[in-house]
């Protein structure tokens, strides 16, 4: 009889908890090591496409997330300067029939909390906080050991690095330096929907594209809040995260806006600022009995709205491939996990970069070319272009 594996998962975010659930469902014992003192998810809105919901269903939390989500009827692309509607992707009933799942938006906590609740209810999962990794190694015995800042030592059959874009596991595994700022600053705020006039509310994800900038907004938290983000291609070269930003400074950085996006921007309060970062696709992210998952493996810009969905796909794929695995199987199974996931995630990383320049921020003739490409597309044509990205991904056999 094959014994259950002892799995160490570094990182208690969306990817780490999803990995823990998938591996526990495969019959293994999982210890999640979270560096913070509690399990929380910071941030505001997040978009979930059908491929993400397919993975959530496989993890057993799809229904709970749907109950908290706001279903979207349309993905709108607007001209931020003229106010003109450029195109829209219908994601209502016809889209849901084709892809088998909805397109929805949630507050990050409304995705994270069902994952956390499911992990707490699973007897095979142990959740540890205050466990920042300080060391990791593979032992001659075939086991993996990690040390944490609180002085504890943990041992398992494998280590999954799901510790985000600045992954400590990746730094020791690949030694490929920090993530790269891409020159875009994003300002985010979350508003009570009661502060938003009725004519500015909608059941769509709306993106206002301008020359070198864009705004995006949609409702979250069951319709109780409006998530608003404004992105500027300003050449920012220093990574910053969640720094407070003065309202007047935000307004001054986006002077050329049509009336509707200007009105939305002026509603914003309590702005915070990030500089977006990503990495080039990695040729590999597995070595021996250590592998990476989610942003630790393939951090991507938010323009394709697939970061969380890809972490969820990673998790269910890893769980499928480790079903029935013995300790001796791990190097081969982990290498196969990487090979199954690498090309798809690399394609989305590169797509996300192109979308920022070619779809959301083009200038002059490039913007005209974008408009000429998008306007003739029918509903079916738009869905066809999204199919490879949004379709449910088949799971590999173990």
35-39, 112-116, 228-232, 258-262: lowest mean pLDDT where?
35-39
pLDDT score at 183: 95
Is pLDDT of 117 > 90?
A: yes
Confidence of residue 1 (pLDDT cuts 50, 70, 90): low
pLDDT score at 211: 94
Based on the residue annotation, tell me whether 213 is a catalytic residue of this protein.
no
What's the average model confidence in pLDDT over 226-239?
95
pLDDT score at 368: 87
Residues 6+ apart with CB under 8 A from 396: 317, 320, 321, 336, 340
Is pLDDT of 219 > 90?
A: yes
Digit-coded pLDDT (tens) for 163-195: 999 999 999 999 999 999 999 999 999 999 999
pLDDT score at 47: 97
What's the average model confidence in pLDDT over 327-356?
97
Cβ contact 327:346 at 8 Å: no
32-41, 153-162, 182-191, 386-395: lowest mean pLDDT where?
32-41
Catalytic residue among 95, 103, 218, 303: 218
Is pLDDT of 43 > 80?
A: no
What's the average model confidence in pLDDT over 385-389?
97
Digit-coded pLDDT (tens) for 135-165: 999 988 889 999 999 899 999 999 999 999 9
Digit-coded pLDDT (tens) for 353-365: 999 989 999 888 8
% of the chain exceeding 70 in pLDDT? 100
Confidence of residue 41 (pLDDT cuts 50, 70, 90): confident
pLDDT score at 242: 92
What's the average model confidence in pLDDT over 291-319?
97
Residues 6+ apart with CB under 8 A from 91: 72, 73, 74, 75, 102, 103
pLDDT score at 40: 84
Mean pLDDT of the chain: 95
Digit-coded pLDDT (tens) for 79-98: 999 999 999 999 999 999 99
What's the CA gap between 29 and 131, in Å, rounded? 18
């Amino acid at each position: 009889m094959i014994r259950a594996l002892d799995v160490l998962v570094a990182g208690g975010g969306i990817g780490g908890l999803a990995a823990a659930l998938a591996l526990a469902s495969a019959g293994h014992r999982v210890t999640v090591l979270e560096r913070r003192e509690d399990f929380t998810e910071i941030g505001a809105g997040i978009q979930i496409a059908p491929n993400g919901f397919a993975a959530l269903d496989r993890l057993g939390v799809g229904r709970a997330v749907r109950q908290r989500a706001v279903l979207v009827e349309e993905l709108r692309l607007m001209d931020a300067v003229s106010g003109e509607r450029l195109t829209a992707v219908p994601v209502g009933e016809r889209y849901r029939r084709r892809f088998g799942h909805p397109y929805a938006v949630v507050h990050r906590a409304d995705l994270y909390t069902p994952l956390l609740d499911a992990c707490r209810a699973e007897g095979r999962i142990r959740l540890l906080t205050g466990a920042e990794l300080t060391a990791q190694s593979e032992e001659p015995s075939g086991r993996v050991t990690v040390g944490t800042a609180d002085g504890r030592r943990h041992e398992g059959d494998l280590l999954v690095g799901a510790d985000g874009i600045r992954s400590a596991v990746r730094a020791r595994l690949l030694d490929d330096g920090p993530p790269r700022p891409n020159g875009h600053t994003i300002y985010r705020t979350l508003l009570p929907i009661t502060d938003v006039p009725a004519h500015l509310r909608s059941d769509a994800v709306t993106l206002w594209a301008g020359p070198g900038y864009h705004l995006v907004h949609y409702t979250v938290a069951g319709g109780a809040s409006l998530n608003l983000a404004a992105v500027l291609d300003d050449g920012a070269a220093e990574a910053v995260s969640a720094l407070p930003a003065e309202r007047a400074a935000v307004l001054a950085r986006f002077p050329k806006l049509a009336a509707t996006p200007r009105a939305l921007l002026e509603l914003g309060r309590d702005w915070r600022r990030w500089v977006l970062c990503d990495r080039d696709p990695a040729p590999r992210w597995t070595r021996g009995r250590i592998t990476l998952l989610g942003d630790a493996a393939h951090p991507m810009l938010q323009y394709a709205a697939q970061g969380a969905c890809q972490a969820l796909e990673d998790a269910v794929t890893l769980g499928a491939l480790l079903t029935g695995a013995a300790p001796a199987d791990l190097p081969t199974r982990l290498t196969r996990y990487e090979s199954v996931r690498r090309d798809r995630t690399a394609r989305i990383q590169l797509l996300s970069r192109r979308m920022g320049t070619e779809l959301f921020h083009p200038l002059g003739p490039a913007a005209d070319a974008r408009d000429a490409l998008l306007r003739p597309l029918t509903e079916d044509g738009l869905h066809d272009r999204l199919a490879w990205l949004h379709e449910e991904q088949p799971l590999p056999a173990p």
